[in-house]
Amino acid sequence: MYFIGIVLLINFLKLSSGDLCEVCTCSGTIIDCNGRVNASDRNNLKLLTSEIAQEIIISSDNTSVEISIHKNTVQQFKIIDLSNNNLDESVISAFSSLINLKELNLSSNNWKKIIPNVFEYFLSLSKLNLSHNLITEISFSSCNLTHLDLSYNQLIILSTGQLNCPRLIFINLSFNSITSIDTQAFTNLNSIDTLLLNNNLIHSLDIFIPPTKQLSVAHNKLSQFPGNLSVEFLDINHNFISMVQTSLTADRLQSLDISKNNLYFINASFVNLKLLNISYNNFSSIPPLSFEDFPALEELIISGNPLDKLIFNTRIKLKRFIASDLNLIESIDENSFDLLQEQENNCINLTISFNKNLKFVYNNSFSNHRICYLDLSNNRLERISKQSIKISNELIPNYGINLQGNPMICDCESQWMLDDLLPKLCNKPREVFNVRMVHWYKWKTKVLCKSSNKFERLVTLDDNTYVVAQSSSMIIIKSSNSVKFIIIGAVTVLTLITIIGLVLSEKLARKHRRRNRRL
């Protein structure tokens, strides 16, 4: 193993920290040596601290650190950061006298295992970061930790008794290679609030998980939806679940992200669920999420499913509905949202965007709704009629409408946008290509409806063709080298003629003046 010694000597001396602060940054109670310890310092650096120092950082030095702390040293350090070095498990013996240590960061080192009782003397230690190591085996026979980060290691199996930390609130076990979890592996986590198991190789969650606020099992190999969970926020995206079917009522569940699975069927009741993300699954139609089974549901995301029609089949009340990246949808029909309702004394936000084949929005599609904000951006809509977005006797939603990214045709049928909507870039006809509708904003005449009106302006097309555009005619001047030479020659000749004329005029004037003097 590659060893370069840094000797950390913390002597109980009331000396100045000047020597240390010449190398590190001292600010208040923090000594920051992050990346500042060079090769010469490693052999002779003595950390002479003041009594008020509480935090020391010696990270990013890419070195093996041999740490020696004398038994009679000061005990004021509460936070130590030794991340991004080449430390192994032997380093922990150096901290046995730091009884006031609360946070220890040993991430990005070379730890391979956690042996029993290794942290039992750290009675005040509450936060431990061992992420980005090489750990394959853990055993916390007893600890007072509240936060434990073991992500980005090489754990494969979690057995019963390995996590005997009853005060643990947060534990991160993500980005390991966990394939198996004993049924009672989490039994002692009585205070757990956040449990992160995402990005592993877990095939089943048929285990005991204490009531918790947040559980993430995304990016695993799950094929069945876990049934007996008491959790508020569940992230189970990127798995292989095809059905959610249970007679049990998950009373605590408020947010469920089950996107990017193989889901095609839902038959469940979630009485307190507020957010449901079922995007990028295999639904061919909007699933029947009735108000009776989802009475608290506020937001539904169905993006990226193979839906061919955007129609609700059961009555549902929402605050927000998102339907994007639906490549089979070609139109929004008049009855598409008849069963979609806003919640009482509220309005609804509709996002129907980035659907590359959506070309039509039929009249009265949204006429029965109180809409806060309507996003129809980045579809293939060429026309939007005034009647198609009429909303509960109001023309536009309370907070506006987004029509950006659609290839709009600007003609008389689009005149109402000049009168009522903040304008968008025109795509057709060619004489108004890339002109903002705001160009004609507040003009007294109906600009787009008058065929005799001339949109005279010089337009440069992609092939260097210059166009003098009008509504009834178009004069096209093809750009070429000969044309350029002709123009340059004509300008040169005109300039020379002008100069010669000025010179001759001056000579004639002088001649007349001399003649007048003789007379």
- Report pLDDT digits (tens) over 393-406: 565 666 778 888 99
CA dist 465 → 428, 452, 473, 475, 482 (Å):
18, 24, 16, 10, 14
517 band by pLDDT with thresholds 50, 70 and 90 = low
Structure confidence at residue 47 (pLDDT) = 45
368 band by pLDDT with thresholds 50, 70 and 90 = confident
- Residue 438 pLDDT > 90: no
Structure confidence at residue 437 (pLDDT) = 67
Label residues 406-445 b or e (16+ Cβ within 10 Å = b): bebebeeebbebbeebebbbbbeeebbeebebeebeeeee
Which residues face 56 on adjacent strands?
A: 31, 80
Structure confidence at residue 35 (pLDDT) = 64
| Complete domains list, the chain, with CATH | 222-407 (3.80.10.10)
Structure confidence at residue 28 (pLDDT) = 64
Structure confidence at residue 90 (pLDDT) = 84
- Residue 457 pLDDT > 70: no
Q: Which residue has the higher pLDDT, 290 or 150?
A: 150
Structure confidence at residue 155 (pLDDT) = 97
DSSP classification of residue 343: P
Taking the CA atoms of residue 290, residue 296, residue 301 and residue 305 in that order, the dihedral angle to the nearest 10 degrees is -20
Phi, psi of 482 (to 5 degrees): -65, -40
Q: Are 198 and 214 in contact (CB under 8 A)?
A: no
Structure confidence at residue 194 (pLDDT) = 98
User: What percentage of the chain reaches a pLDDT higher than 90?
Assistant: 42
Decide: residue 498, CB within 10 A, 0-12 exposed, 13-18 middle, 19+ buried. exposed
Q: In 3-state terms, what secondary structure has residue 311?
A: coil
- Residue 212 pLDDT > 80: yes
Q: Which residues contact 303 (CB under 8 A, 6 or more apart)?
A: 279, 280, 322, 323, 324, 325, 326
The model's pLDDT over 39-91, given as tens digits with 9 standing for 90+, comes to 445 443 444 444 445 666 666 655 554 454 444 444 677 888 889 988 888 88
The model's pLDDT over 3-51, given as tens digits with 9 standing for 90+, comes to 333 333 233 223 334 455 666 777 666 667 766 655 445 443 444 444 4
Identify whether 423 is preceded by a cis peptide bond (ω within 30 of 0). Answer: no
Report the 3 state secondary structure along 119-168: CCCCCCCCEEECCCCCCCECCECCCCCCEEECCCCCCCEECCCCECCCCC
Q: Which residues contact 307 (CB under 8 A, 6 or more apart)?
A: 283, 284, 285, 286, 323, 326, 328, 329
- Residue 337 pLDDT > 70: yes
For tokens 């039994």, the residue is: 187
- Residue 458 pLDDT > 50: no
For residues 352 and 335, give the distance between their C-alpha atoms in angstroms, rounded to a whole number. 16
Q: Report the chain's mean pLDDT, rounded to a whole number.
A: 80
391 band by pLDDT with thresholds 50, 70 and 90 = low
Any idea which of 11-25, 205-219, 435-449, 475-489 has the lowest mean pLDDT? 11-25
Q: Cα 431–432–438 angle (5° rounding)?
A: 160
**Model-wide pTM > 0.85:** no
461 band by pLDDT with thresholds 50, 70 and 90 = very low
CA dist 268 → 244, 289, 311 (Å):
7, 9, 20
CA–chain centroid gap for 177, Å, is 26
Residue (of 60, 44, 67, 52) closest to 17 by Cα position? 52
The model's pLDDT over 470-507, given as tens digits with 9 standing for 90+, comes to 444 444 555 556 767 788 888 898 898 888 888 888 88
H or E element at residue 511: helix 481-518
The model's pLDDT over 98-137, given as tens digits with 9 standing for 90+, comes to 788 899 999 999 999 998 888 877 888 999 999 999 999 9
DSSP classification of residue 453: -
385 band by pLDDT with thresholds 50, 70 and 90 = confident
- Residue 178 pLDDT > 70: yes
Task: Tell me the mean pLDDT in the region 283-293.
Answer: 92
